[in-house]
A and B are shown apart, each in its own frame.
Chain A
Amino acid sequence: MSSFTYQFDTPSYKGTSTVPTGLFINGKFVEPVEKGTIEVVNPVNGKVITSVAAGTAADIDIAVRAARKAYKECWGLKVPGVQRGRMLNKLADLLQANADEFAALEALDVGKAFRVARNGDILASIGALRYYAGWADKIQGKTIETNEKKLAYTRHEPIGVVGAIVPWNFPLTMLSFKIGPALAAGNAVILKPSELTPLTALRLCPLFAEAGFPDGVVNLVNGYGSIAGQALSEHMDVDKITFTGSTLTGRKIMETASKTNLKKVTLELGGKSPSVIFNDVDLEQTVKWASHGIFMNHGQACTAGSRIFVQAGIYDRFLKAFTEHALSLKVGDPFARDTYQGPQISQTQFERIMGYIKSGKEDGATVHIGGERHGNEGYFIQPTIFTECKPNMKIVQEEIFGPVAAIIKFTTEEEAIEQANNTVYGLACSVFTRDIDRAIRVAHSIEAGTAWINCHNSSELSLPFGGFKQSGIGRELGEYALEHYTNLKAVHVNIGHRL
Chain B
Amino acid sequence: MPSTFTKTFDTPAYKGTVTIPLGLYINGKFVDPVEGGTIDVVNPATGKVVTSIAAGTKADIDIAAKAAKEAYKTSWGLKVPGTQRGKLMSKLAVLMEEHIAEFAALDALANGKAYNTAYGKDNKGAIAVMEYYAGWADKISGKTIETNEKKLAYTRHEPIGVVGQIIPWNVPMFSLSLKVAPALATGNTIVLKPSEITPLSALLFCTLIEQAGFPPGVINIVNGYGSTAGQAISEHPLIEKVAFTGSTLTGRRIMEAAAKSNLKSVTLELGGKSPSILFDDADLEQAVKWAIHGIYYNHGQNCSAGSRIFVQEGIYDKFLDQFTEQARAIKVGDPFSPDTYQGPQVSKTQFERIMGYITSGQNDGATVHLGGKQIGQEGYFIEPTIFTECQPNMEIVREEIFGPVACVMKFKTEDEVVEQANDTTYGLAASVFTKDIDRAIRVAHALEAGTAWINCSNHAEISMPFGGFKQSGIGRDLSEYALENYTNVKAVHVNIGMRM
Which residue numbers of A lie inside 8 Å of B, CB to CB?
144-146, 150, 152, 154-155, 239, 247, 250-255, 257-259, 261-262, 264, 267, 269, 285, 288-289, 292, 424, 439-440, 443-444, 448-455, 458, 460, 462-466, 468-470, 472-473, 475, 478, 480, 483, 487-495, 497-499
Contacts and interface: CB of A to CB of B under 8 A. Distances in A.
Nearest to A261: B471
Given A259-B252, A489-B449, 16 more contacts: A152-B463, A254-B263, A258-B253, A259-B256, A262-B251, A444-B156, A449-B488, A451-B492, A452-B492, A454-B495, A455-B495, A465-B491, A470-B262, A491-B441, A494-B454, A494-B455
B493 A450 contact: yes
Given A144-B461, A483-B484, A499-B290, A257 B425 contact: no
Given A292-B500, A449-B490, A455-B495, A257 B255 contact: yes
Contact of B490 (A144, A247, A450, A494): A450
Contact of B498 (A145, A259, A455): A455
Nearest to A284: B500
A494 to B, nearest CB: 4
B489 interface: yes
A490 B445 CA distance: 10
A439 B445 CA distance: 48
B425 A261 contact: yes
B351 interface: no
Interface string B196-221: 00000000000000000000000000
A491 B425 contact: no
Give 5 closest A-B pairs by Cβ, nearest first. A258-B255, A254-B259, A288-B500, A494-B456, A499-B289
B471 A289 contact: no
Nearest to A262: B471
Interface of B: 145-147, 151, 153, 155-156, 240, 248, 251-256, 258-260, 262-263, 265, 268, 270, 286, 289-290, 293, 425, 440-441, 444-445, 449-456, 459, 461, 463-467, 469-471, 473-474, 476, 479, 481, 484, 488-496, 498-500
Nearest to B498: A455
B489 A466 contact: yes
A460 B147 contact: yes
Which of B248, B256, B262, B490 is packed against the most chain A CB atoms within 10 Å? B490
A453 B490 CA distance: 13
Contact of B263 (A264, A267, A460, A483): A267
Contacts of A472: 263
Nearest to A473: B265
Contact of A487 (B151, B248, B450, B489): B450
A252 to B, nearest CB: 8
B465 A490 contact: yes
A488 B476 contact: yes
A285 B497 CA distance: 11
Contact of A255 (B259, B290, B491): B259
Contact of A146 (B145, B254, B463, B470): B463
24 contacts: A146-B464, A150-B461, A239-B470, A247-B263, A254-B258, A255-B255, A257-B255, A262-B268, A285-B500, A444-B490, A450-B490, A454-B494, A460-B145, A460-B493, A462-B153, A468-B240, A469-B262, A475-B489, A483-B484, A488-B476, A490-B450, A490-B464, A492-B454, A493-B455
A469 B476 CA distance: 21
Given A460-B145, A487-B450, A262 B469 contact: no
Chain B residues touching A, majority SS: mixed
Contact of A451 (B258, B449, B493, B498): B493
A264 B467 CA distance: 13
B491 A463 contact: yes
A337 to B, nearest CB: 20
A462 B146 contact: yes
B489 A480 contact: yes
Contacts of B449: 489
Chain A residues touching B, majority SS: mixed
Contact of B463 (A145, A455, A468): A145
Contacts of B494: 439-440, 443, 453-454
Contacts of A475: 489
B465 A154 contact: yes
Contacts of A483: 484
Given A146-B463, A262-B248, A492 B451 contact: yes
A285 B453 CA distance: 58
A443 B289 contact: no
Nearest to B493: A452
A470 B270 CA distance: 25
Which of B153, B251, B270 is packed against the most chain A CB atoms within 10 Å? B153
A100 B262 CA distance: 42
A472 B262 CA distance: 10
A499 B293 contact: yes
A462 B493 contact: no
A480 B499 CA distance: 28
B495 A453 contact: yes
Contact of A464 (B459, B471, B491, B498): B491
Nearest to A487: B469
Nearest to B427: A487
Contacts of A493: 440-441, 444, 454-455
Contacts of B425: 261
A452 B153 CA distance: 9
Nearest to A459: B493
A262 B260 contact: no
Contacts of B488: 449, 468
Contact of B493 (A150, A239, A455, A488): A455
Contacts of B444: 491, 493
A458 B490 contact: no
Given A261-B470, A453-B494, A473-B263, A489 B452 contact: yes
A379 B393 CA distance: 58
B252 A258 contact: yes
Contacts of A450: 490-493
Contacts of A253: 259
A144 B263 contact: no
A252 B258 CA distance: 11
Contacts of B454: 491-494
B240 A469 contact: yes
Contacts of B256: 254-255, 258-259
Contacts of B290: 499
A451 B490 contact: yes
A152 B479 CA distance: 12
Which of B155, B466, B484 is packed against the most chain A CB atoms within 10 Å? B155
Contacts of A453: 492-495
A332 to B, nearest CB: 21
B259 A251 contact: yes
A109 B401 CA distance: 54
A124 B489 CA distance: 22
B263 A492 contact: no
Contacts of B459: 150, 492, 494, 497
A420 to B, nearest CB: 14
Given A424-B262, A489-B452, A491-B444, A144 B463 contact: yes
Contacts of A150: 456, 459, 461
Nearest to A264: B474
Contacts of A439: 494
A498 B492 contact: no
A464 B489 contact: yes
Contacts of A250: 263
B453 A458 contact: no
Nearest to B500: A288
A449 B156 CA distance: 9
Contacts of B155: 463-464, 478, 480
A323 to B, nearest CB: 17
B455 to A, nearest CB: 4
Nearest to B142: A464
A491 B452 contact: yes
A483 B467 CA distance: 14
Which of B252, B293, B464, B469 is packed against the most chain A CB atoms within 10 Å? B464
A483 to B, nearest CB: 7
